[in-house]
Amino acid sequence: MLILTIETSTPMERVAVVRDGSVLAEITETVGRGHTEKLLGAVESALSRASVGLRELDAIAVSIGPGRFSGLRVGLATAKGLAAARGLPVVPVQSLEALAESARPYEGLVCPMLDARKGEVYAALFHLGDGRERVLQDVAVAPAGMIERVQEAAGGREVLFVGGGAAACAGDVKASLGGSARFPDADVNTATPLAMAAIAEELGLPDPAEAATLEPVYLRGI
């Protein structure tokens, strides 16, 4: 399956073209002002580097949140616009679920955390094995509150913390969970294209008409 992935839940936006579990091209940019134009440019660059035309795609996988409000809006609007031009299906991928999936080949409990600003993180808890089991639902909460929830749910088991939000509160995590807290050797701050595409394939391709009804998941008011 040939999928264009658009991940805009953090300031580090990632656009890629993935075919059957292989990344053909990827563009990663830190965005600020003018990110609508930058995102479209990144899509064009990724397609060009992969030597793929928009009409050749099977689907577009896009992060729907939770995450950065403006990024989610722009990412979803861009995906809808591109899909409408060619009648492509848009597969909505939950940001925290994709971030947890990005921790593979690790298996076990994974806590993805993204900076939610205002002293909070967007976070959840999953168990990765042969599949992916959700243990705690997505929340917007103070880091201390999430650490307490994870500690209770883990019951002493090892937990891998990933995402920019986790890196920012690593000291508090280690102080509370001690040796059961782990962090990846390499930065896993945003969802990878492979994780986005894998989840999209799991979900299956929706009717292209359903794209018009998609909305970002914010968890809290803007």
Q: Does 45 fall in a domain? A: yes
pLDDT of residue 32 exceeding 70: no
Q: What is the pLDDT of residue 83?
A: 95
Cα 215 to its chain centre, rounded Å, is 15
For 61-72, write each residue's pLDDT tens digit: 999 999 999 999
pLDDT of residue 221 exceeding 70: no
The CATH number of the domain where 77 resides is what? 3.30.420.40
Same domain, 29 and 88: yes
Average pLDDT over residues 126-153: 97
State the average pLDDT for the chain: 94
Same domain, 13 and 91: yes
Q: What is the pLDDT of residue 43?
A: 96
The CATH number of the domain where 134 resides is what? 3.30.420.200
Same domain, 12 and 30: yes
For 95-131, write each residue's pLDDT tens digit: 999 999 999 999 999 999 999 998 999 999 999 999 9
Strands 108-117 and 120-128, by their bridges, are antiparallel
Q: Does 222 fall in a domain? A: no
For 74-95, write each residue's pLDDT tens digit: 999 999 999 998 999 999 999 9
Q: What is the pLDDT of residue 222?
A: 41
For 14-23, write each residue's pLDDT tens digit: 999 999 999 9
pLDDT of residue 201 exceeding 60: yes
Range of the domain at 35: 2-95+191-213
Band of the pLDDT at 31, cuts 50, 70, 90?
confident
List Cβ neighbours of 7 (8 Å cut-off, separation of 6 or more): 13, 14, 15, 62, 63, 75, 95, 98, 190, 191, 193, 196
